[in-house]
Structure 1
Amino acid sequence: MEHSRTDQIAEDGPLLFARVLDGKGGGFPIAWKDAASWQPSAPGEVLWMHLNRTHEGLYEWLQSALGIPEPTAELLTSDETRPRAFREGSALVATLRGINFNPGAEPEDMVSMQLWSDGKRLLTLRRLPLQTPREILGQIDRGDGPRDAGATITLLAELMIARMNQSIVDMNEHIDMIEDMDVEEQHEQILAKITKIRRNCLSLKRHMGPQHEALERISRDAPGWFDADDRREIAETIERLRRYLDDIDISKESAVVLQDELRARSLASNEHATYMLTIVAGIFLPLSFLTGLLGINVGGIPGVDDPAAFWWVAGICVFVLAVLMTLFKRWKWL
């Protein structure tokens, strides 16, 4: 994850960065003191402000400077991160989630981004660093970025969903690696990896399932400034997300199959060991009975005074053993 000085909270406000989109794919930076009172000076200009939602005073500023209703301002600055989207007059409000690629994070540690736009202004708010806004910022600075608020929202959703693919590929690679591991020697390690994969799949499905509904809501109920091209792009993103959710299900099922196979092998190994112990017991039970009978400490035991009696008993034991082995093989127990 790239960290830079500009990705820290600005000393004079919650602004992480701001760009005025020129409607041609480019844009120019604007400071917090100017962004707060910005008004478009040319047709097609849109202000995009990327904010840290944990900054003190942001909740009040959203209401006083932009006239955002109190419940919406609370949603934009809260830690309620379940994906959702709704239309509020001419404004679009949404919460989206993406894969957490920050150092030390697991894929299931999702990061959220709230957004609000009335077509002329676009606010994106986050708590933890996100790669996607920075990537789009680079495109704008190069002059090949989105042209308006609708295109920016569409691109944000598209890139956040596209980043899911890497996590899915990584999980599939781990599944392939597990299939090549030695089950006998790495049993516990394999079980731990499978459990982690299943947990990641369940977490991704739980978090990204609602995002599918949020994107459909944007496509269906977005305000008029969200044009037909943006709706088509959102529809493509929805289809991609649906495929990724299907891939997550496949990865989860593959992990379940591997886990079942591992358990089946372990059970078969235990059953084989139990079977062999049963065979051994079946062989030595008659011999133990014979030797135990001859070893009782009572009078009348034959062969007590005969030096050759031991060899007779040993010969009888060998004979009994041979008969048992022949019978077990005929019965296909061996």
Structure 2
Amino acid sequence: MGIRTKLRRNRTQKKGMPPGSLVYIGDDQTEEVTMSAMAFDANGMDAYEDLSIEEIKTVIDSDKVTWVNVNGVHNVQLVDQISKHVGLHPLTTEDILNTEHRPKIDFFEDHLLAIVKMLHLPEESPDLDDEQVSFILMENTVITFQEKRGDLFDPVRLQLQESKGRIRKSGADFLFYSLLDLIFDQYLIIMDEMDDRIAQLEGMIMEDPDNHSLQDINQYKNTILQLKKTVWPVREVVNKLINRKVSYIKEDISFYLQDIHDHIVQANDMVETSRGQLYGLLDVYYSSLSMKMNEIMKVLTIVSTIFIPLTFIAGIYGMNFANMPELDWKWSYPAVWIVMLVITGLMLVYFKRKKWF
């Protein structure tokens, strides 16, 4: 069963339900949902793994700045329990459970919801892997909901553990920025990798265009389209973050958010550039293919042209006339061969001087 089929099936389950009905929309997941947390202040940091829902509630209610990470959103009941504990609206919880949601940001009186995509480009494949990450930012708490285990957040965890930079001395808003920054930096890394692959593909096409090259172009076009759908809406998300004044995002974070904005603008520009390169590469492919065909046709034309006079000579001496004086001559056969070879040589010299090959 394809991904789109599964998504249609899940959406069909919601048909007729009232707004705020909680239904998981996404790939079928069998992994157990796990939860971890980090609670910190300027003096120290505590890390927790494999927490229960009651332990999560206790950590959230502590006086320290807390980061709760939920791996997996297919357990609707568990996500609903966390959402109700921190006071999320049912429509917000519904958005968290929809892993095909467009990147967005919603502001509320004491928290915000931000939904973005975490991207990964496999080394041996042009197909882009994406994973939705939902952020809940409150005064002293950041909650991240991920589709599955594994993320880009290890550098932030290391900073918290070793108290590098200002992260332990700052609040939840700076932690929120740091996590977003890692995700958006990955966009630039992927675009750099895409540029390298497109350049490599261009070299292969110039050297030897084939059907496999056309398939690669179409695959990368789909990847660029997916990148555009992912990166473009994020610009709006960051713009709202910069322009919206809320109590749980301090003024001094605005400068850092502007840096994120610059990264997103650059990523969008790189997406458009790569998109243009791929369409140009398609023209290069067809041009190279046409040149290759022209070379083949030129060789075939030269060969055919050389054989025209030879065929003419062979045709004359292949006629069944009784009175052909050359037929009785002792050296007639080698003489015809010499004439043919001389004609062939003269034509090749002529073609070479004309630079036809």
TM-score range relative to shorter protein: 0.7 to 0.9
**Contact conserved, 1:183 with 1:190, CA < 8 A, in 2?**
no
Q: Which residue among 91, 104, 109 is the counterpart of 1:89?
A: 109
Q: Which residue among 212, 216, 220 is the counterpart of 2:239?
A: 216
Q: Quote the Cα distance in structure 1 between the aligned partners of 2:160 and 2:120.
A: 23
The alignment partner of 2:307 has SS state of helix
Q: Name the structure 2 match of 1:165.
A: 188
Q: Quote the Cα distance in structure 2 between the aligned partners of 1:260 and 1:218.
A: 41
Q: Quote the Cα distance in structure 1 between the aligned partners of 2:196 and 2:113.
A: 37
Which residues of structure 1 form unaligned runs of 5+? 1-7
Q: Name the structure 2 match of 1:5.
A: none
Which residues of structure 2 form unaligned runs of 5+? 1-30
- Aligned amino acid, residue 250 of structure 2: D
Q: Which residue among 42, 67, 85 is the counterpart of 1:48?
A: 67
Identity over the aligned pairs, expressed in percent?
18
Q: In the TM superposition, what are the counterparts of 1:157-196 in structure 2 within 5 Å?
A: 157-175=180-198, 184=207
**Contact conserved, 1:59 with 1:74, CA < 8 A, in 2?**
no
- Aligned amino acid, residue 91 of structure 1: H
Q: Quote the Cα distance in structure 2 between the aligned partners of 1:183 and 1:140.
A: 49
Q: Name the structure 1 match of 2:25.
A: none
Deviation at 1:279, TM superposition (A): 1.8
Q: Name the structure 2 match of 1:114.
A: 134
Q: Quote the Cα distance in structure 2 between the aligned partners of 1:244 and 1:237.
A: 10
Give the 3 Å change call, closer, same or farther, for CA 222–299 of structure 1 in structure 2: farther
Q: Name the structure 2 match of 1:293.
A: 316
Q: What is the count of residue pairs matched by the alignment?
A: 320
Q: Name the structure 2 match of 1:100.
A: 120
Q: Quote the Cα distance in structure 2 between the aligned partners of 1:323 and 1:136.
A: 77
Structure ranking higher on relative contact order (CA contacts 8 Å, 6+ apart) = 1
Q: Quote the Cα distance in structure 2 between the aligned partners of 1:150 and 1:81.
A: 23
In the alignment, structure 1 residue 74 sits paired with structure 2 residue 97: no
In the alignment, structure 1 residue 36 sits paired with structure 2 residue 54: no
Give the 3 Å change call, closer, same or farther, for CA 143–33 of structure 1 in structure 2: farther
Q: Name the structure 2 match of 1:227.
A: 250
Deviation at 1:314, TM superposition (A): 4.1
Give the 3 Å change call, closer, same or farther, for CA 205–25 of structure 1 in structure 2: farther
Q: Quote the Cα distance in structure 2 between the aligned partners of 1:330 and 1:104.
A: 48
Which stretch of the first structure deviates more once superposed, 203-212 or 29-38?
29-38
**Contact conserved, 2:205 with 2:285, CA < 8 A, in 1?**
no
In the alignment, structure 1 residue 128 sits paired with structure 2 residue 157: no
Q: Quote the Cα distance in structure 1 between the aligned partners of 2:147 and 2:213.
A: 35
Which stretch of the first structure deviates more once superposed, 177-186 or 282-291?
177-186
**Contact conserved, 2:177 with 2:256, CA < 8 A, in 1?**
yes
Task: Output the TM-score relative to the length of structure 1.
Answer: 0.77
Deviation at 1:112, TM superposition (A): 1.5
- CA-based RMSD: 3.7
Q: Quote the Cα distance in structure 1 between the aligned partners of 2:97 and 2:262.
A: 30
Q: Name the structure 2 match of 1:278.
A: 301
Q: Name the structure 1 match of 2:26.
A: none
Q: 1:180-210, CA deviations, whole angstroms, 9 ceiling, x for partnerless residues? A: 7696579677666666555443332332222
Q: Quote the Cα distance in structure 2 between the aligned partners of 1:182 and 1:102.
A: 22
- Aligned amino acid, residue 206 of structure 1: K
Task: Output the TM-score relative to the length of structure 2.
Answer: 0.73
- Aligned amino acid, residue 36 of structure 2: F
Q: Quote the Cα distance in structure 1 between the aligned partners of 2:40 and 2:255.
A: 22
Give the 3 Å change call, closer, same or farther, for CA 50–320 of structure 1 in structure 2: closer
Which stretch of the first structure deviates more once superposed, 270-279 or 246-255?
246-255
Q: Name the structure 2 match of 1:3.
A: none
Q: Quote the Cα distance in structure 2 between the aligned partners of 1:105 and 1:50.
A: 29
Deviation at 1:298, TM superposition (A): 4.7
Q: Name the structure 1 match of 2:162.
A: 142
**Contact conserved, 1:21 with 1:148, CA < 8 A, in 2?**
no
Q: Name the structure 1 match of 2:262.
A: 239
